[in-house]
Amino acid sequence: MHSSISKDHLFDPVQLAKRLDQSKRIIPVLKETLVALHSYLDEQFYAGTDISDLIYKRSDYMDQILKLVWQRFDWHENIRSWRKTRVSLIAVGGYGRGELHPYSDIDLLILLERNSYDLHKQSLQSFLTLLWDIGLDVGHSVRSLNECQIQAKADITIATTLMESRTIIGDEALREKMIRKTGPSKIWPSKRFFKAKWDEQKERHQKFDDTVYHLEPNVKSSPGGLRDIQTVMWIARRESSAVTLSDLFDRHMLTQSELKQLGEGRKYLWKIRYGLHLLSGRSDDRLSFEYQRKLADLFGYSDRGDLLAVEQFMRDYYRVVLGLQAINQLLLQHFDETILRVGEKTVIKPLNSRFQIRNNDIEVTHEDVFKQYPPAMLELFVLAGNHADIEEVSTSTTRLMTSQLYLIDDEFRANPEATKLFIELLKSPLKLFTQLTRMKKFGVLGAYLPEFGHIIGQMQFDMFHIYTVDAHTLQVIRNMRRFRYRNNEQKFPVAAHIIPRLPKIELLYIAGLYHDIAKGRGGDHSYLGVQDVTKFCHFHQLSIWDTNLVRWLVENHLSMSGTAQRKDISDPEIIHEFALLVQDQVRLDYLYALTVADINATNPTLWNSWRASLLRQLYLETKRMLRRGLENYADKSEYITEAQSTAIQRLKQHGVNEQDVLQLWDDIGEEYFIRESVGNIVLQTESIIEHRNRPGDKDESLVLVRDYYMRQGEEGATQIFIHCKNRDNLFASSASALDQLGLNVLDARIFTSGSNYVFYTFMVLEANGQLVGENATRIERITRLLREYLEDTDGSVKISKRRTSQHLKQFNIPTEISMSKDAARSHTVLELVTLDRPGLLAIVAQIFVEMGLVLQGAKITTLGERVEDVFYLTDKNNQPVTDQVLCIKLEERIRTELDKKSDG
C-alpha cells in the first residue's frame, strides 16, 4: 500500500506533502499516488459505489494534489504589492462543478489580478510542465481579470466556463471579483445568454438529426444527454443564481417528480460515462456498439426471449434520455416564457370551455380540466392539429397533464369520446407527426396505447435499423405526411400521386402505427401486430371494411418490398401471384405508400434509385394486371354499403329525399361507389337531384366547377363534374373543351349509368399550375364553353393548337400501347403510356370516335411529365373489340398522332 493512501483507502494530503518534501524526485511519487487513486476509485465503481460519490471524490482528490503541486512554486505572495499581483488557481467547466470522470479534462484558469504574467512566468511554466509530466490531461488558460471580461464578452463559451468556477487555491476574493466582472449586469444579460444557449443547443442537436435515438449516441452531447442538463443549469444560474438541481425546485422551476427524474437521470448517464472511460481507457463519450455490449454485461443485463441484453440496456438508456430531453424542453420553454417573452403583450384566444390559446401556446382554462373531462388529454392535441396558430403546449398545462396520466386507464381507453378524439387526431390537417411526438414525450401516447408504450426505446442491434421501433414508427407517419407536399413529387412521384386518392388517409396512419408494434415480443411480429390492431379497430369502432384493410396492411407490410427485391418481377407469374394477394387497386395503393414510408424510415440510405425503380415496376405491373380483369375488390359489398349509408346520412342532413337518392343510384354501377369519395358522391347526388327538380330545361348539361382538396392542408386541384345524356363523341368533346380552356387534366373518372347518363369527374389545373380559385368570370367561362361543346351534336371535335412546353420536351417517354380483353366487364382495355402534352385526351378520344369505338370508362393518371391512361372500349354493339386488324390500326393511329404532336 502506498504511504499517501491511508488504511481506509482515503487520500491523505498531509502524508503526501511529507513524502514530497522528503523526496528528491517528486514526479514518481505523484504518479504513484495518482495510479493508486485511480485504482481505488475504479474498484469502488465495479463494487457498485454511488456514482455521485465517485466523481465528486475524484474531483476532491485532484484538488488536493493540485494544491500540493501549486504550493511548491513561488507566487510572490510576500512582496509589498502582492494585492496587485495576486494569482489564484481556479477550476472551471465540469471540473469547476466538482465533477470529474476518469479521463475528463482538468480545466484550469490561472487568474491574475492584473496582467502580471511576466512576474509569474517561470512558476507558471514549471507548474504546468509538472502536471503534464505526471500524466494529467490539463486544459488551461492564463488571464487577468480584464482579459476574462474581454474574452468572455466575445465568446459565450468562455463566459459559460467562467460561471462554473471555484477556487482551488488562492484568494477567493479574486474569483468573486472575476464573477462580478463577467456577470449578467456587465456582459451577456439573461435574454441574450438564453437565446445564445438555446441556439447553441439546437445546432448541437442537429448534428445528431435532432433525435435521442442514434444507434451510437453520445452520452454527453446527444439530445437528452448530459450537455442538455448543463444547458438548463447554465441558463438558470445566469437568470437566478441557481447552482444545484435542488435550487431549480426551490425556485419553482421544477416539480418534485421532475427533480427526482432529473437527478436520477443524471446519475444514470454519469454511470454510463464513467464506465465508457474505464472500458475505452480514454475520454470517450460515444456509446459505440462495442461498448454497448460490454456495458450491458457490466451492468448485469442478460439475454431474455427475443431481447438481447444489449437491446434491453439500450432501451433503458433511450427511455432515460427521452425523459431528460422532455424536462430540458420543458425548462427551456419555461425560460422562454419568463425571460424572452416577459413583458410581452398577452393575447388570449378562447377555443372552448376547456382550452385557450395564450400567445400561441395552448393551455387549460382551469386546473381541473383533465379531472372533470379526462378525454381532454386527447382533445388538446386534436385542437393543436387543427389550429395553425398553436405552436406549443404551455409549461403549466404540460405539467398538469403529465402529473395526471393516471387518468388514462382502461375506462378511459374504452370511452367512445376518447376513441373518437383519437381518430379525429389522425384526420387532423396540421402537424400530425408533431402531435404524436408530443404525445409520446408527455407520456400520453404510451398510456393511451400501452402496446406502443412497450416499444418505446426498443432497439434492434444492427446497422440496418438506425432508429428504435417507436422512433421508426413515428418516422413512418412523418414520411406519409411528406408525400402530400408538391416538393416531394420528384423523389416520390408514385406515392405523391397515390396519397390524395386514398379514400381514408387515417387508415394508412393506423397501419403505420401498428406495422411493427409487436417487435421484441418473440414470434412473428406481423401476426402479433394483426391481433393488436384488430383490438384497436374494435375499440375505435372502425367498420368491417376499414378493419379488414388495416389488418391486411399490417399482416402484409413486408410483402411488397420482399417481392420487389427477392423475386423476378419481370416474370408475369410473379406479378400474377402478387396481384392475387393484393386483389384491388385500393389495397395496392395503400400498401405501396406504407412500403415506401417504411423503407425510408428504416434507414434513409436504403431508398435509392434501384429500390425505387423495383417498387415502381412492381406497382405498375400489378396495376396493369388488375386492370386487365384480375381486380377483385376485397370486401366490396361492405365498402359500398358503408359508402352509400354514410352518403345517405349526409344527404338527409341536407334535406334530400332518400327515395330520390335511391332512384338515382339504382342504375349506377358499383365502380362509381368504389372509386368516388363519399364527399363527391354526396355533392354530385345532391346537385343532380336539385338540377332535375328545378323548373326549366331538364336536358341542359350539369357542370360543377370547384376547388377540391382531398384533405385539408394537402395540395389541391380544381374539380369539374359533368352529368348529361351520353352520345358518341361526348368524352372527346369534353376533353377538347378543357383543352381549349387551357386546363391541364391531372385525373379523370368516367362512368356511364344504365340509363346512358354520364358521370365525368375531371381534376384540372390552370396552365400555370394554379387552381381556378373563386374567379367567378373564369368559372362562368368554363361552364359556358363546356355546355357548348357538350350540346354540340354535329360530332366535330376541335383539337387544340397549344404547343408542348419546352419543359416537357426535355423528357423522352416513348409511347407505349397495349390492348387486352377484360372478360369480367366485357370490355377491351387499352393502356396508354406517353409524354404529357396539350390536347392529349381530346386527340385520343377523337380517334376512338373516328374508328367507331365507344368509350365505356376511363382512368386518367398524370405523374409529372408521364401519362398513364386506361380506356375501357367496346364496339357499337357494346361488345369487346375482337377485330385484330382494327386493334392494330387503332394502335398505329394513336402512336402516329401522338408522335406527330410531340414533335410540334
Q: How far apart are CA 235 and CA 237, in angstroms?
A: 5
In this prediction, what percent of the chain has a pLDDT beyond 70? 93
* Mean pLDDT on 567-580: 89
Reply yes or no on whether the pLDDT at 675 is more than 70.
yes
120 band by pLDDT with thresholds 50, 70 and 90: confident
pLDDT value at position 64? 94
Residue 145, judged by CB atoms within 10 A of its CB (0-12, 13-18, 19+), counts as: buried
149 band by pLDDT with thresholds 50, 70 and 90: very high
Contact between 314 and 459 under an 8 Å Cβ cutoff? The reply is yes
pLDDT value at position 299? 96
Higher-pLDDT residue of 8, 782 = 782
pLDDT value at position 462? 57
pLDDT value at position 712? 59
What pLDDT digit, counting tens, does each position of 574-609 carry? 999 999 999 999 999 999 999 999 999 887 777 777
Three-state DSSP string of 736-777 = HHHHHCCEEEEEEEEEECCCCEEEEEEEEEECCCCCCCCCHH
Reply yes or no on whether the pLDDT at 776 is more than 80.
yes
pTM for the complete prediction? Answer: 0.80
In this prediction, what percent of the chain has a pLDDT beyond 90? 63
pLDDT value at position 823? 60
7 band by pLDDT with thresholds 50, 70 and 90: very low
Residue 185, judged by CB atoms within 10 A of its CB (0-12, 13-18, 19+), counts as: exposed
* Mean pLDDT on 315-336: 93
85 band by pLDDT with thresholds 50, 70 and 90: confident
* Range scoring the smallest mean pLDDT among 165-179, 473-487, 818-832: 818-832
pLDDT value at position 405? 96
Coil, strand or helix: which one is 296?
Answer: helix
Beta bridge partners of 863: 866
C-alpha neighbours within 13 Å on the C-beta side of residue 824:
9
What pLDDT digit, counting tens, does each position of 496-530 carry? 889 988 989 999 999 999 999 998 887 789 999 99
285 band by pLDDT with thresholds 50, 70 and 90: very high
Reply yes or no on whether the pLDDT at 901 is more than 80.
no
What pLDDT digit, counting tens, does each position of 417-469 carry? 999 999 999 999 899 999 999 999 999 999 999 999 999 988 875 555 678 89
822 band by pLDDT with thresholds 50, 70 and 90: confident
Higher-pLDDT residue of 114, 660 = 660
* Range scoring the smallest mean pLDDT among 350-354, 367-371, 825-829: 825-829
Reported as type and span, the H/E element at residue 791 is: none
Reply yes or no on whether the pLDDT at 794 is more than 70.
no
- pLDDT averaged over every residue in the chain: 89
* Mean pLDDT on 641-664: 93
pLDDT value at position 46? 95
Maximum mean pLDDT: which of 83-87, 353-357, 899-903: 353-357
220 band by pLDDT with thresholds 50, 70 and 90: very high
Reply yes or no on whether the pLDDT at 5 is more than 60.
no
Q: How far apart are CA 200 and CA 204, in angstroms?
A: 6
Name the strands in the sheet holding 355-358, side by side, starting at the edge strand that comes first in the sequence.
348-350, 355-358, 361-364, 392-393
* Mean pLDDT on 340-367: 93
Q: How far apart are CA 189 and CA 175, in angstroms?
A: 20
- Cell digits of residue 286: 460515444
pLDDT value at position 841? 86
Beta strands per DSSP E along 2-112: 87-91, 106-112
